[in-house]
Structure formats: structure tokens, C-alpha cells
């Protein structure tokens, strides 16, 4: 069964009310909580990570910064925070991030392909992205963070191709914002998927509460 990772983020930034949202959802059956490296300051991320740990949940930070210095700084912050997973971080800097997280216990799932912007967009030829996935696997990363539904080409063809091309886990991140897309990600064999903005916008269950959104996503993953 694929892991649902609830990201306390809106348009790729950690929401200012992340601590309060966590308090509201931690008892609903969510096992994985994520946040971005942008949106709130480090001291508040430290408090948020502590709250995630106290709730017995698995923590994820997704690096959406674009320049080399910011990516390295965010990777070091991930180690300092002691998150379970660091996902994202633009592919050309994957070696740097891998060096930073090596032997720390932080698992690293980099982006593949040509990613840019906040929110991130994935560009490039499908075959090149698949080959990049294989290169990252050979590099020794723990998994792949794939912006499948942010791809400028055929998202579902890409999702299938990447999952089949590598032996490491693939997380589908970004714009998995409908029950149909959740089912498609599950059918492709992805190890997990992230949802943030669509839950805050109540797009999973139109007109429903935030709790309704969470429960609906959990129900999809349990089928």
C-alpha cells in the first residue's frame, strides 16, 4: 500500500498555521507529515518537527529552493532537524545533498528531470527523465521524488515509466489533487504520494472540512 504524506503546505510553502493543523489531524490516522524548506522560519520548523515526533509520525521535508547554496543549507537543516526523509532538491545538486545526509539516517529522494519554479514544474523529454532516474539510482539515493502531475508532457505515461525503470521507491509529489489521480498513482505502483494544497482547498471532498479531506484520502489508500 502506498504511503499518503500530508504536507502542511500551500503552493509549495509551509503554511503559517502548520502547528495548529497538525494538532487537528494527528489523531485521524495520518502516519506521514511533511513540510517545505520555505514558508516559516527555522525555529518554527524545529518546533513543528518536535510536535511531529511527539505524535509518533514520520517526518518529511521537501526542498524547493532552487540555487545551490540554498539547497545545501536546506539539506544541512534537514540533518539538524533530524527528519526521516529529505525529498526534492534539484537534480544537479544531488551529489552535494547526498554527501551532506550520508550516515545521518536521513533518507534522500531527489527530484529528477528539469525542475524549476515554485510551485515546481517538471520539463524535459520522457526518455531523458527516465534515464535521470536510473542515474540517481546508480548514485545511491534512497528513492525518487517525481513531479509527475507537474510534468509538461503526459504525466501518467511518465509515472508508469519511472516506476518501472527503477528498483528504488518513487514518491509522486505535487498536484495529486483528486481521487482519480490518487487511484492512478496507486495503480502505477508508486511507494507514496504527497498532497497539500488540494486538501487545504478542499478539492478532494468539495464542500467538506479538512478532516473530510484527510479521511477520504486515507480511505482511497486503504482500498
Q: Print pLDDT tens along the chain (223 aa).
A: 789 999 999 998 999 999 999 999 999 999 999 999 889 999 999 999 999 999 999 999 998 887 888 889 999 999 999 999 999 987 678 899 999 999 999 999 999 999 988 788 999 999 999 999 999 999 999 999 999 999 999 999 999 999 999 999 999 998 999 999 999 999 999 999 999 999 999 999 999 999 999 999 999 998 7
Domain with 18 in it: what CATH number? 3.20.20.70
Strands 114-116 and 32-36: unpaired
What domain count does the chain have? 1
Helix (H) or strand (E) holding 88: strand 85-88
Q: Is the dihedral of CA 126, 141, 77, 28 positive or negative?
A: positive
Instruction: State the residue range of the domain holding 175.
Output: 3-222
Quick one: how far is CA 201 from the chain centroid?
18
- pTM, to two decimals: 0.95
For residue 36, give every residue at least 6 positions away whose Cβ sits within 8 Å of its Cβ, in sequence order, or none: 7, 9, 12, 13, 14, 61, 62, 63, 64
Amino acid at each position: 500500500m502506498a504511503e499518503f504524506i500530508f504536507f502542511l503546505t500551500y503552493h509549495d510553502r509551509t503554511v503559517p498555521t502548520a502547528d495548529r493543523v497538525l494538532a487537528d489531524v494527528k489523531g485521524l490516522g495520518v502516519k506521514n507529515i511533511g513540510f517545505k524548506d520555505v514558508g516559516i522560519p527555522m525555529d518554527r520548523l524545529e518546533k513543528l518537527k518536535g510536535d511531529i515526533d511527539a505524535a509518533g509520525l514520520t517526518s518529511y521535508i521537501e526542498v524547493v529552493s532552487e540555487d545551490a547554496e540554498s539547497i545545501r543549507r536546506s539539506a544541512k537543516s534537514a540533518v539538524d532537524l533530524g527528519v526521516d526523509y529529505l525529498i526534492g532538491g534539484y537534480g544537479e545538486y544531488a551529489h552535494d545533498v547526498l554527501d551532506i545526509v550520508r550516515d545521518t539516517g536521513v533518507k534522500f529522494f531527489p527530484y529528477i528531470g528539469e525542475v524549476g519554479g515554485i510551485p515546481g514544474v517538471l520539463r524535459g523529454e520522457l526518455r531523458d527523465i527516465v534515464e535521470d532516474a536510473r542515474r540517481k539510482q546508480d548514485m545511491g539515493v534512497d528513492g525518487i521524488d517525481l513531479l509527475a502531475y507537474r510534468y509538461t508532457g503526459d504525466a501518467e505515461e511518465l509515472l508508469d515509466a519511472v516506476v518501472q525503470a527503477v528498483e528504488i521507491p518513487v514518491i509522486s509529489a505535487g498536484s495529486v489533487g483528486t481521487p482519480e489521480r490518487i487511484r492512478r498513482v496507486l495503480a502505477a505502483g508508486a511507494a507514496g504520494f504527497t498532497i497539500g494544497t488540494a486538501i487545504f482547498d478542499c478539492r478532494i471532498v468539495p464542500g467538506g472540512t479538512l478532516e473530510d479531506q484527510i479521511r477520504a484520502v486515507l480511505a482511497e489508500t486503504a482500498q
